[in-house]
Amino acid sequence: MRVLVTGATGNVGRHVVDGLVAAGVEVRALTRRPAEAAFADGVEVVGGDLETPDPAVFAGVDRLYLFTAGKTATVLEHAKHAGATRVVLLSSMSVGFDDEQVGESHRVAEEAVADSGLEWTHLRPGMFATNLLEWATSIRTDGVVREPYGAAAQTAIHEVDIAEVAVAALLTDKHVGQVLALTSAEVLTKVEQAEAIGAAIGKPVRFEELSPEQWKAEVSDEVPGWVADWLLGIWAGAADVPETPLSTVADVLGRPARTLKEWATDHAADFR
Ligand SMILES: NC(=O)c1ccc[n+]([C@@H]2O[C@H](COP(=O)([O-])OP(=O)(O)OC[C@H]3O[C@@H](n4cnc5c(N)ncnc54)[C@H](OP(=O)(O)O)[C@@H]3O)[C@@H](O)[C@H]2O)c1
């Protein structure tokens, strides 16, 4: 079996590649920057952009891990025409939010996948733990995290857990036609997340509460205003009502989801 992995250099995609290789599956990894890509031996690397999908990329592909970008419906047509039978889509829990801008691209991609005639699974993760890499510079330099809503209680998921669920959906028949909402099994406030990173790197990490306005002003060069407002809304909501941890990772993989401390240990070099 040959699986095409799109978004293969990404946080999740690179682990999907590794998981498939470990399972003995032939992997074709798609990237817009093939010269810079570094994958395990045996992985076939192809250049390509999902905005301008090239039918040749899909020749001989049986199954597809699909990152939401570009012309999803055309990608699916090419894949089906080439004889592929299954697609696993990296979607987002944001499809269920009452929010046009962020959830919309995922809603469109989910519909295209469900209408494609291929076997499908939608993965809908909540917050990725990798978002906390935003804290790396200030933790490395000052041992501090400066953000609003330290009481926001979240279920940040390890990217390897998402990838392992994707691999299970690609390689077993159990999840065809399923929508899998994915979170970690623990709920930690931002203050506790900072502490978990500190415990993993063996150095205290302090959470310094900013007002929403202070934070928005501080990040205005890097974070567009509407994204900042969207994030503030999510954090305010999670401070009010803690996010709900789901058992999907354990149900699919038969072992508990990784903890944030495990995630921070895996990424300790980023925070030291
Ligand atoms: N962060 C969160 O909390 C969160 C939560 C839920 C869902 N999500 C969703 O998860 C996805 C992000 O996943 P991720 O973190 O694994 O991805 P990522 O690290 O952002 O990487 C995605 C990869 O996709 C490739 N790519 C981007 N545009 C492309 C295009 N037009 N054609 C071909 N390849 C393209 C890029 O690789 P090359 O440059 O090598 O081509 C990039 O490395 C997003 O759709 C996001 O909405 C995120």
CA of 20 to the centre of ligand 1 (A): 18
DSSP string for residues in 112-181: HHHTSSSEEEEEEE--BGGGGGGGHHHHHHHSEEEES-TT-EE-PBPHHHHHHHHHHHHHSSTTTTEEEE
Q: What is the pLDDT of residue 186?
A: 97
d(CA 35, CA 171): 29
Structural tokens at position 115: 């209408």
Residues with CB under 6 Å of ligand 1 are 6-7, 9-13, 31-33, 49-51, 67-70, 90, 92-93, 125, 127-128, 131
Going by their DSSP bridges, the two strands 26-31 and 44-47 should be labelled as parallel
* Structural domains of the chain ordered from first start: 2-125 (3.40.50.720), 127-156+183-245+254-272 (3.40.50.720)
d(CA 52, CA 165): 28
Query: What is the Rg, in whole angstroms, of the alpha carbon atoms belonging to the chain?
Result: 19
d(CA 177, CA 48): 28
| Residue from 9, 3, 6 nearest 23 by CA | 3
Q: What is the pLDDT of residue 96?
A: 81
CB atoms within 10 A of CB 173: 8
From first to last of the 272 residues of the chain, give the pLDDT tens digit.
Answer: 999 999 999 999 999 999 999 999 999 999 999 999 999 999 999 999 999 999 999 999 999 999 999 999 999 999 999 999 999 999 999 998 776 777 899 999 999 999 999 999 999 999 999 999 999 999 999 999 999 999 999 999 999 999 999 999 999 999 999 999 999 999 999 999 999 999 999 999 999 999 999 999 999 999 999 999 999 999 999 999 999 999 999 999 999 999 999 999 999 999 99
First to last CA, the chain: 41
CA of 7 to the centre of ligand 1 (A): 6
**Nearest alpha carbon, ligand 1 atom 45:** 68
- 199 burial (CB, 10 Å; 0-12 / 13-18 / 19+) is middle
Ligand 1 atom at minimal distance to the Cα of residue 93: 6
Residues 6+ apart with CB under 8 A from 24: none
d(CA 183, CA 260): 11
Three-class DSSP category at 52: coil
d(CA 242, CA 240): 7
d(CA 72, CA 136): 33
